[in-house]
Amino acid sequence: MVGIAAVRSEGSSGEPQRSTARATALGIMAALAGLMFGLDTGVVAGALPFIATDFHASDALQGWIVSSMMAGAAFGSLVAGRISSRYGRTGAMLVAAVLFLVGTLLCALAPSALVLIIGRVFLGLAVGLAAFAAPLYISEITVESARGSMISFYQLMVTLGIFLAFVSDSLLATGQHWRWMLGIMAVPATLFLGIVLILPHSPRWLMMQGRKDHARRVLNSLRSDEEVAEAELADIQARLHKSSDAGLGLFRSNPNFRRSVYLGMLLQIMQQLTGINALLYYAPRVFQAAHFGVNASIWATTLVGLTNMILTGVAIVCVDKWGRRPLLILSCAIAGFALLGVGALLAVGASSFEAQIALCGFVLLFVAGFAIGEGPLVWTLCSEVQPTRGRDFGIGCSTVTNWAANWAISKTFPMIMVAMGAASTFIMFAAFNGLFVLVTLMMVPETKGVSLETIEANLFSGKKLRNLGR
C-alpha cells in the first residue's frame, strides 16, 4: 500500500498511475521470496525439540540441523551472482523456487537426520539465491521515491513467514507433528514458482545484456511516462559505458567499488551480531532457560514472530519518510537497551511470574527495535550502495557474508550459552548493538529519495561512504 501511494504521486492521469502501480505489484510479488526465507527460519525453532527426540539428536547434531541451512545459503549466495548475471534476477528466483520445493519434500519425508540435513542444505541454497536476487530485482524496478519501502516489504515477507511458521509450530506442537511443520512450506514454494514465471526481467539486467529495446519496453510499463523511462534508460546506459570492468574485475581495479563492497559486508555482519537469529532459532530454549514451560515457550516464541512482523510494517511506513540513518540508529539503541534488560533478568534468575513477564517484555522490545531498522534497512542499503556493473558481485559478497555469519552464530550459539551462560551471552549482543550505533554514524549513508545512478556517481567520485546520498 505504501509503495503504491508513493509511486502514484508521480503522475496524475489514470495511465501513469497504472503503470507505476504495476512496478509496485511486481515488487510485492518478488518480495514473496522472503516468505520462503522466513518460513524456513521460523519453522525449525518449533520443530527442533521433536526432531531431537525422534532422531535422538545431541546438542551438536541439533546445531548441524539448524546451521546446515545457512551453510547451503552461503554457497547459494556465492553462486547467485553468476546465475543472476547470466539468466537474470528472475532466472535466479526461479531456480530458488524449485530448490525450495525439493528441499521441503526431503525435510518432511526424511527417514534420518542425515537426509534432513541434506534437505535443509537444499533449502539453504534456495534461500541464498532468493535473498540475493529478490531485493536486487526490487531495487532495479522501483522508483527511488518508493525504493526503501519496497525493499523493506521483502523483509516484511520474511517476518510474515517467521510468524506463520511460529503459529503453525504452536498449533502442531501438541501432536509433535514436526513433519507437517516442515512440509507445509511446500505451499508458498509452489505459489512463488508460479509467480516467478510471470515476472519481467529487470531493465538494468536487460541493458547489461545489450537488449536495449526490450529494456525500454519493460521500463515504459514501470514508469509514469515515456520521458521518465527514457531518462532512466539513458542514465543506466551512461553508467554501463563508463566502465568496461564488471564484477571481480571492477573490484580489483577500482578502490571506490571496494569501499561499497566492504560496507555491504560490514552491514550484514552488523545484522547477524545483533543476536536476532540466535533468538529466532533457539527462542524456546531461551525462554525455557527462564523457567518457561514447553508450551509457554512456544507461544512466547509466536508472540516474538508477531512483534517482528508488525514492527517491520512500521519500518515500511517510515523508511522513505524518516530516512535510513535515523531509523537504523534508533533500532540499534533500542535493541541494545532491551538485550541489557534480558541479560540482567537472566543473571538474577527470572524465576518469578513478574520476572518472566518482564523478560518477555524485554525480548519483545528487542525484536521491535530490530524490526524497525536493523532487519529491513540492511538489505535496503546493500542493494542501494552497489554500482550497476558491480551490483551482482557486491550484493553477492554481502549476502555470502550474511549467511556465513548466520551459520557461525547458529552453529555456536548453544555452545556459547553453555560456556558463557545465558546472561553474559545476551549482554555481549547488547554491546554489539551499541557498537553499531557508532558504525552507522561514521559510515552509513542516507539514501532516501536518491537515485541509484546518483549514489553510483558519488561513490566513484570518491565521496565518503556516509556522504554517498548527498
pLDDT at residue 95 is higher than 80: yes
pLDDT for position 419: 86
- In order of 204, 281, 298, 453, 457, the CA distances from 236 in angstroms are 7, 41, 49, 7, 11
N-terminal to C-terminal alpha carbon distance within the chain: 28
Span 130-147, mean pLDDT? 82
Helices in 142-211 by DSSP H: which ranges?
A: 144-172, 178-183, 186-196, 203-208
Predicted confidence (pLDDT) per residue in 393-449, tens digit: 888 888 888 888 888 887 787 778 888 887 898 899 999 999 999 999 999 999 888
Q: What is the DSSP letter of 421?
A: -
Query: 17 is written with which cell numbers?
Result: 498511475
How far apart CA 252 and CA 303 sit, in angstroms, is: 46
pLDDT at residue 352 is higher than 60: yes
Q: Where are the domains of the chain?
A: 2-199+243-467
State which of 53-67, 324-338, 451-465 shows the largest mean pLDDT. 324-338
pLDDT at residue 242 is higher than 70: no
pLDDT for position 47: 84
Which of these, 29, 37, 28, lies nearest to 131 by C-alpha position? 37
Q: Which residues contact 421 (CB under 8 A, 6 or more apart)?
A: 346
pLDDT at residue 168 is higher than 80: yes
User: What band does 349 get if pLDDT is binned at 50, 70 and 90?
Assistant: confident
User: What band does 350 get if pLDDT is binned at 50, 70 and 90?
Assistant: low
pLDDT at residue 246 is higher than 80: no
Q: What is the DSSP letter of 77?
A: H
Predicted confidence (pLDDT) per residue in 392-408, tens digit: 788 888 888 888 888 88
Per-chain mean pLDDT for the chain? 83
What sign does the dihedral 427-430-432-435 (CA atoms) show? negative
Could you please report the per-residue DSSP string of 297-362? HHHHHHHHHHHHHHHHHHHHHHHHHH-HHHHHHHHHHHHHHHHHHHHHHHHH---SHHHHHHHHHH
Q: Diameter of the chain by CA atoms?
A: 68
User: What band does 289 get if pLDDT is binned at 50, 70 and 90?
Assistant: low
Question: With contact defined as beta carbons under 8 Å apart, do 202 and 93 qualify?
Answer: no
Which of these, 211, 252, 441, lies nearest to 330 by C-alpha position? 441
pTM of the model: 0.74
How far apart CA 100 and CA 414 sit, in angstroms, is: 27
Span 88-100, mean pLDDT? 93
**More confident site: 369 or 169:** 369
How far apart CA 393 and CA 97 sit, in angstroms, is: 22
pLDDT for position 16: 39
The reply to whether CATH 3.40.50.300 applies to domain 2-199+243-467 is no
Predicted confidence (pLDDT) per residue in 10-37, tens digit: 343 344 344 467 788 888 888 888 888 8
pLDDT for position 1: 32
Torsion angle of C-alpha atoms 292, 294, 295, 298, degrees rounded to 10: 80
Share of the chain above pLDDT 90, in %: 25
- In order of 61, 164, 269, the CA distances from 116 in angstroms are 11, 21, 28
User: What band does 287 get if pLDDT is binned at 50, 70 and 90?
Assistant: confident
